[in-house]
Amino acid sequence: MPSILLIDNGSRRADATRNLRRLAMQLAGRIGEPVHPVSLLHADQVAADQLDGYPAEILEPALRRLLSAGVRDVILLPLFFGPSRALTRFVPDTAAVLSREFGLFQIQTARELCPLPDGEPRLVEILAAHVEQASAVSGYPATRVVLVDHGSPIPGVTAVRTWLGERLTQRFGSGVSVGQAVMERRTGAAYDFNGLLLEELLRQMASEDRTTPVILAMLFVSAGRHAGAGGDIADIIVRVESDHSGFRVYPSPLVGSHPGLIDILLSRLSHIQGDF
């Protein structure tokens, strides 16, 4: 029986690890097998007393622990929307290092949450439901929506956001404008495929129309440096609203809070388990 690891990129914020653990417990309850919540990096810097006394695990030590216990088959189930270098480089490099120490073992990584070209229609529905929730909070219909993600220098990752944005446009129809923005991007024309930074886009929208609220469709699984209470996005909203009287921005819930995410993970797991 392979060991199953639910993996995220990792964050120095305790809330991200708590959410990873919650998702792992929900998934384990659905499949009747243990699911190990493991971050690739960063999470081990969170003090254990912020995590109910249990320090977070990151990938290399977690694999080392399992291999030392005799495990030789591992499934990695990624909480990544697209083909991040964390999956295409960091995971294989880590596995190669450990195989030199422990001998050969089998490690398979399931497909990401929105694998192109087919994408993931259920993820579109999660985002749409969250936009509708944020719209209800605002008290206004969602006519201006911005799909925002972390941002990536890899075109294939940005293509996932583009695919989701196009499907949201189709989902909502002509009465809703769906824009896209990033929290981070490299400078230079070579990275223009990333689009505008969120603060830049919001300021443009506020200058054009202060009275129509903007709903942020949050393409984030968990709270971290950018998303969630006290994150960069919350700070940006405060700044832009302060500078443009009457302008309001309403962030949607995060993808990881929607129960439908577990169904997507179950599909990814079911597909890869057939390869063992």
Same domain, 40 and 99: yes
Provide the CATH number for the domain around residue 150.
Answer: 3.40.50.1400
Based on the domain organization, do 100 and 222 belong to the same domain?
no
3: which strand partners? 74
Domain identity same for 78 and 160: no
Based on the fold, state whether residues 220 and 250 are members of the same structural domain: yes
Please indicate, yes or no, whether residues 181 and 246 belong to a single structural domain of this protein. Answer: yes
**One domain, residues 166 and 100:** no
Instruction: Express each pLDDT in 209-250 by its tens digit.
Output: 999 999 999 999 999 999 998 899 999 999 999 999 999 999
For 24-69, what is each residue's pLDDT tens digit? 999 999 999 999 999 999 999 999 999 999 999 999 999 999 999 9
Integer Cα distance of 194 and 82 in angstroms = 14
CA 104 to chain centre: 31
Number of domains in the chain: 2
Q: Determine the structural domain holding residue 227 and report its residue range.
A: 121-257
Considering the domain architecture, whether residues 81 and 166 belong to the same structural domain is answered as no
Tell me if 224 sits within 8 A of 10, measured CB to CB.
no
Q: What is the pTM of this model?
A: 0.95
Q: How far apart are CA 121 and CA 112, in angstroms?
A: 13
* Same domain? 141 vs 101: no
pLDDT at 276 over 60: no
The string of pLDDT tens digits covering residues 36-48 is 999 999 999 999 9
Pair (128, 160) in one structural domain? yes
Q: Which of 109, 137, 171 is the last residue of a domain?
A: 109
